[in-house]
A and B are shown apart, each in its own frame.
Chain A
């Protein structure tokens, strides 16, 4: 098989220059004597096992404890982790990673390609039943689906280790953004010997063996976890933060109080408080763009008959004044959305969809026109529907504002209905709604993580929108080297057919103590690593 070297530029520069993989501390920085970083987490971690962990906060800890093939830098680009570089075969189906030879586990054993093979096989193993097994399918690793379904043995997974420092991955279809997916926790290596010795208790601090910059030294359920520097980590000399403590604080307001009391260095800002906190703490309150969208989804399968008419869907979308929702209601630095994919997504150029270029007055006029054309509104049939959202103050505010806009501008009657989270998910998943709230956070930094959701086979397509052209374009994008025009076309179709109303793209509002430096504020996935941080004396 012939290979062509396809080292991505970021990697090349990363390996050839003396890179700042760890904390990038300026020479004149006055480092604090106590390098302990303490932050608030809302929920207990689902697990510390990289192949089992779910959720954002769990992944944050696992990223510190384990290191995968690549890490991300402050801008979200890949930088070497255990892997130094990779090559891609001509057919884009085989990836060969070269691993560094100085990576070690916390017990001193070398990190080998075999540890990755074991971990990836583990992720799809039916007995472990990883809730993230689907991620391996999403990565298109050969035979992943068949193994998950119990049809093939795990040894058939398309991953192998010809030697200790070479990892070969065989894909079932070309995936141009495959390398962007290997900084995800599910792909981190796992220590076979520790897992076999301790079973499911291998993640306890006393049993755990890990290869990241930190080791788990304490874990009190629902109260705190402590991780301390791993002396075996290959780049430990450049790591500055010695100790990272998470405190479980369920109540957001209490998190802020404890931030004010100096007990935590980082906490989330409760909804609606960003403007006042930004004024009070201009250097500590941040609104960071995030790879998530917020939308209203039309049930086009068994919702109201009117929703089957694209003109009605467009009219309802046009009538929503997004800037009122972002600037007057939420006030947290969110971005008005006219496309499904957030503009911050890597390699995604926001296409100029027609309604995004209009003024709100023009959109309102067009909305009335479209609704009238479809036979609804003041001179036609009365339009009325239910809007379903999960119980939360901010969702309620958005729902009230949007329903008032529809009422005043289009004379549409909307009944608001809220449900507890899991009840809501079940109702929405069973298509027992007219219009429902939706939100999606990208699993990786590429537009397909959003746009795949609106394809016919997607299990997350709650409105059951189906368009053959969209499906075909998304399939083509999987193997295309230039996805920009394809994604632009999909977004244009979505703007014309409006199966969902994009409302806004998220931002994360956090308080971060001014002594903490090195936070990757430009990384839209907010994938941060404690090893890249440092604290300065105040």
Chain B
């Protein structure tokens, strides 16, 4: 497994390099630049601004400087739109926010989705099963951009229970709505997936054997059925978690959390090249790391996968 991990790690460097080069040139194809504004800067002022940010150099020189700064100084450059800040600063402040509510959202998804799925499977074709399936479908058809305003309408405006947005240092009342709004449709997905795989596992020969041995039902469920039944859920949750902490642009903007989703949007509109590139690198490293961890977790759970590594 160590060999496998090392092999995967070695592929990261060339992948990232290709990504940086590709993104670097692609961004510059978009018309306008970071300093294009309604009141265009006079040429002499523009010349000073370009020089300050090293943008007066040819593109390949800028790219080389950028890569050198990352490799030798772990410096992702200055932000063009927040002039007192570097990209490192902005990510260091925004990423923990997104990560925090992404984490709690994942906890919510698993803590609600798995039990709901198991209950539905155990009470197959009963009122509980139909209610759960109904609830799951209902949640899945509500995208977060519909759910979030409804939640704010109810919990903030009507009942005054939760603040309508903000972060305030990550107090729990500020985390609830972003985490739930982000996770609800995935929670429904997890519940349905767990129900399906649990049903399948409970009908498999090894469970029949366990029952024949006279094991109590609770032991069968927890010790024998749960682990294999959760495999599809785990496969599903890997990419979902990556999406949660990288793609939650709407949540960041709507709830004004100060997370990095907002930076991505602002970076694109303001052509903040270094910010966009920094975020693209962060997202790639995250995607890679989480996928690797997921594969390793999969191997840990499933001996068949382990033997192939």
Contacts and interface: CB of A to CB of B under 8 A. Distances in A.
Interface of A: 43-49, 52, 54, 126-131, 133-134, 137, 145, 148-150, 200-201, 203-204, 220-224, 247-251, 254, 257-258, 260-261, 263, 420-423, 425-427, 429, 439, 459-460
Interface of B: 30-33, 35-42, 44-45, 48-49, 51-53, 81-85, 89-90, 93-94, 97, 149, 152-153, 156-157, 160, 163-169, 253-254, 256-259, 262-263, 265-266, 269-271
Contacts of B32: 421-423, 425-426
29 contacts: A43-B266, A44-B266, A46-B81, A46-B83, A129-B48, A129-B53, A131-B41, A131-B49, A134-B45, A221-B93, A222-B266, A223-B97, A223-B166, A223-B167, A224-B166, A247-B166, A254-B152, A254-B165, A257-B149, A261-B160, A261-B163, A261-B164, A263-B163, A263-B164, A425-B36, A426-B36, A427-B31, A439-B38, A460-B39
Given A250-B256, A422-B36, 4 more contacts: A44-B266, A131-B49, A145-B44, A257-B149
A499 to B, nearest CB: 18
Contact of A131 (B45, B253, B256): B45
B31 A250 contact: no
A88 B81 CA distance: 39
Residue from A49, A128, A421 having most chain B Cβ neighbours under 10 A: A421
Given A133-B45, A261-B156, A426-B36, A251 B254 contact: yes
B167 A220 contact: yes
A200 B89 CA distance: 12
Contact of B49 (A129, A200, A423, A439): A129
Nearest to B35: A131
Contacts of B97: 223
A3 B271 CA distance: 50
Contacts of B163: 261, 263
Contacts of A137: 42
A512 to B, nearest CB: 18
A248 B94 CA distance: 13
Contacts of A49: 83-84
Given A43-B266, A220-B93, A221-B258, A422 B152 contact: no
A223 B32 CA distance: 27
B256 A247 contact: yes
For the residues of A in contact with B, the DSSP-based class is loop
A47 B84 contact: yes
Residue from B45, B164, B166 having most chain A Cβ neighbours under 10 A: B45
B82 A221 contact: yes
A52 B78 CA distance: 14
Contacts of B49: 129, 131
A423 B51 contact: no
B82 A44 contact: yes
B273 to A, nearest CB: 12
A441 to B, nearest CB: 9
Contacts of B256: 222-223, 247-251, 254
B295 to A, nearest CB: 34
A377 to B, nearest CB: 34
A150 to B, nearest CB: 8
Given A44-B82, A52-B83, A257-B156, A250 B41 contact: no
Given A254-B164, A261-B157, A426-B36, A220 B258 contact: yes
Given A263-B164, A439-B38, A223 B82 contact: no
A125 to B, nearest CB: 9
B257 A223 contact: yes
Contacts of B33: 422
A86 B53 CA distance: 39
A422 B167 contact: no
A221 B90 contact: yes
B41 A423 contact: no
Given A223-B256, A224-B166, A429-B40, A421 B81 contact: no
B94 A201 contact: no
Contact of A47 (B83, B152, B160, B257): B83
Given A254-B256, A261-B164, A425 B37 contact: yes
Contacts of A258: 156, 164-165
B136 to A, nearest CB: 28
Contact of A251 (B36, B48, B166, B253): B253
B157 A422 contact: no
B89 to A, nearest CB: 8
Contacts of B167: 220, 223-224
Contacts of B271: 422
Nearest to B51: A129
Contacts of B153: 257
Given A220-B93, A222-B258, A423-B30, A149 B82 contact: no
Contact of A460 (B40, B157, B266): B40
A46 B82 contact: yes
Contacts of B165: 247, 249, 254, 258, 263
Contacts of B89: 221
A148 B49 CA distance: 11
Contacts of B85: 221
A201 B85 CA distance: 8
A346 to B, nearest CB: 20
**Ordered nearest first, which 4 A-B pairs have the shortest CB separation?**
A422-B32, A223-B258, A129-B52, A129-B48
A180 to B, nearest CB: 18
Residue from A47, A203, A425 having most chain B Cβ neighbours under 10 A: A425
Nearest to B90: A221
A201 B42 contact: no
A19 B119 CA distance: 74
B143 to A, nearest CB: 16
A275 to B, nearest CB: 21
Given A148-B44, A221-B82, A459-B42, A260 B157 contact: yes
B94 to A, nearest CB: 7
B157 A426 contact: no
B48 A126 contact: yes
Contacts of A129: 45, 48-49, 51-53
A49 B89 CA distance: 17
B157 A257 contact: yes
Contacts of A201: 84
Contact of B84 (A200, A222, A251): A200
Contact of A422 (B30, B39, B82, B93): B30
A119 B22 CA distance: 41
Contacts of A426: 31-32, 36
